[in-house]
Amino acid sequence: MTAVAAAKYASPMEAGLHGAHVTRLSLPRFDRPIDADLATPGRLHLYGSWSSPGSHRAAIVRALLNLDHVVSMSYVDNLRDARGWAFRESTGADPVNGFTLLREAYERTEPGYDGPVSVPVLWDRYQSRIVSNAADSIDVGLATAFAGRRFLYPALHRDEIDDMFAWIDRTVSSRLGPSVYDDRSRSELLTALQTLSTRLSAGRFLVGDAISLADIRLWVSLVRYDAGPNAHGAVGPKLSAFDGLWGYARWLYQLPAFRQTTRLRAIAAPFATLPEW
């Protein structure tokens, strides 16, 4: 492990000097499963962003499983220029390596790395390299890697949870981007929200009789709906118009693992009036 002598920060975000940030989509470059060796307490560190849905999901899993002293976590600043994710005083220095830019983690893992830099990133303190930058598997890996803590992704319900993942991604999560303002996408999203509201009026959880990864993945999208694309009513009714869904979402928010890992202002659209969670 590397000892960090003093806090180091990236210079302020400045697109005029460094260039504007451009989102580059690609398949995750690193995706090692969390095996028994990696699950050693103190070995893994999670780099995340308060605005990133994938980081949010992983942070909720970490909190629900009481992994605070097992897997450490830190955050990058939400503002980006062409240098990508950076460590600034707003969210704190990198406590593991003293990096100022998250790109340094990628370059240390793969010298000459020239791909996109995404969060979340799961880091191996012992080998000083990235374990995974695959947002869709980090939450699953954390939920299954630690003995006796598998209740979020139980084997009995895994197929159903996986099916729910795919449906949520297709009908809800993927619709919360720019495409939500397209008539067809908006209609599909609102239909999905009503379907979910009806389902959750009849039961507290999406799958089984306890919180699962399916609930976490849905909730991370729901909390962004009114704060983000629907902040000014451009999509449709507020989440509170869907009785079953609103009650479910607010109940989850009362749980510390959901509330304490959420910064509404980090996911809010400009000038948004935030809902009363």
Residue 246's nearest CA partner among 214, 276, 216 is 276
Instruction: Measure the CA–CA gap between 42 and 55, rounded to whole angstroms.
Output: 19
Q: 15-145 has which CATH code?
A: 3.40.30.10
Q: What are phi and psi of 84, to 5 degrees?
A: 85, -155
Which pLDDT value is given to residue 66?
A: 95
> Would you state the structure tokens that stand for residue 97, as one six-digit string?
């390596």
DSSP letters spanning 133-154: --HHHHHHHHHHHSTT--TTS-
Domain chopping of the chain, boundaries:
15-145, 155-264
| 166: confidence class by pLDDT, cuts 50, 70, 90 | very high
pLDDT over 70 at 3, yes or no: no
DSSP letter, residue 26: -
Which pLDDT value is given to residue 5?
A: 55
pLDDT tens sequence across 206-226 = 999 999 999 999 999 999 999
> Would you state the structure tokens that stand for residue 76, as one six-digit string?
């990058």
Which pLDDT value is given to residue 74?
A: 98
Q: 155-264 has which CATH code?
A: 1.20.1050.10
pLDDT tens sequence across 40-55 = 999 999 999 999 999 9
Q: How far is CA 97 from CA 124, 141, 195, in A?
A: 11, 23, 46
Q: Do domains 15-145 and 155-264 have the same CATH topology?
A: no
pLDDT over 60 at 182, yes or no: yes
Find tokens 């593991």 and name the residue.
96
| 14: confidence class by pLDDT, cuts 50, 70, 90 | confident
pLDDT tens sequence across 244-260 = 999 999 999 999 999 99
pLDDT over 70 at 2, yes or no: no
* Cβ–Cβ < 8 Å for 104, 10: no
Residues recorded for the chain: 277
| 92: confidence class by pLDDT, cuts 50, 70, 90 | very high
pLDDT over 70 at 18, yes or no: yes
| 30: confidence class by pLDDT, cuts 50, 70, 90 | very high
